[in-house]
């Protein structure tokens, strides 16, 4: 197989990202401190400017770190675990749901019906998703 992408040489982007984030964090901390000092001196207008700049800078710094963490997140674990098979008996309408097993396919003759002893048929194979969060833009529907 071919080779993976080469790591960056020199100053890595990761390092640059961290340095910038830390630098912004320090500046924001100083701005917040300055804002508090000005507030105690009674210079409310100037204090508000410094406080809001500090809070904004802090927010951007946290966002940068969060973005970095997102990029470093591990790949998703094995998906589609919850695949189920529906087996039905055509004689007495007995229906059962079980976990999918290798070799199952729709309209395959399956195990015997526990009620009448006739072979049942697989009528459906589907993936059932875990409980989902409500759609953020559901009001658009």
Check residue 19 for interaction with another protein (CB under 8 A).
no
Q: Classify residue 123 by burial, with Cβ atoms within 10 Å: 0-12, 13-18, 19+.
A: middle
Q: What is the DSSP letter of 10?
A: S
Total residues belonging to the chain: 141
Residues near another protein (CB under 8 A), total: 42
Shortest Cβ distance from residue 52 to another protein (Å)? 16
Check residue 80 for interaction with another protein (CB under 8 A).
yes
Check residue 18 for interaction with another protein (CB under 8 A).
no
CA–CA distance, 107 with 74 (Å, rounded to integer)? 39
Q: For residues 122 and 95, is the Cβ–Cβ distance under 8 A?
A: no
Check residue 42 for interaction with another protein (CB under 8 A).
no
Q: Which residues bind another protein (CB under 8 A)?
A: 1-2, 4-6, 8, 13-14, 16-17, 20, 30, 33-34, 37-38, 68, 71-72, 75-76, 78-80, 83, 100, 102-108, 124-129, 137, 140-141
């Amino acid at each position: 197989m071919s080779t993976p992408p080469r790591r960056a040489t020199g100053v890595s982007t990761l390092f640059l990202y961290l340095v910038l984030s830390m630098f912004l964090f320090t500046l924001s901390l100083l701005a917040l401190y300055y804002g508090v000092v000005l507030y105690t001196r009674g210079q409310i207008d100037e204090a508000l400017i410094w406080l809001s700049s500090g809070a904004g800078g802090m927010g951007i710094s946290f966002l940068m770190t969060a973005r970095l963490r997102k990029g470093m997140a591990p790949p998703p674990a094995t998906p589609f675990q919850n695949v189920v098979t529906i087996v039905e008996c055509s004689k007495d309408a007995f229906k059962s749901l079980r976990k999918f097993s290798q070799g199952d396919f729709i309209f395959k003759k399956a195990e015997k019906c526990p009620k009448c002893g006739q072979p049942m048929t697989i009528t459906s194979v589907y993936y059932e998703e875990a409980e989902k969060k409500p759609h953020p833009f559901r009001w658009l529907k």
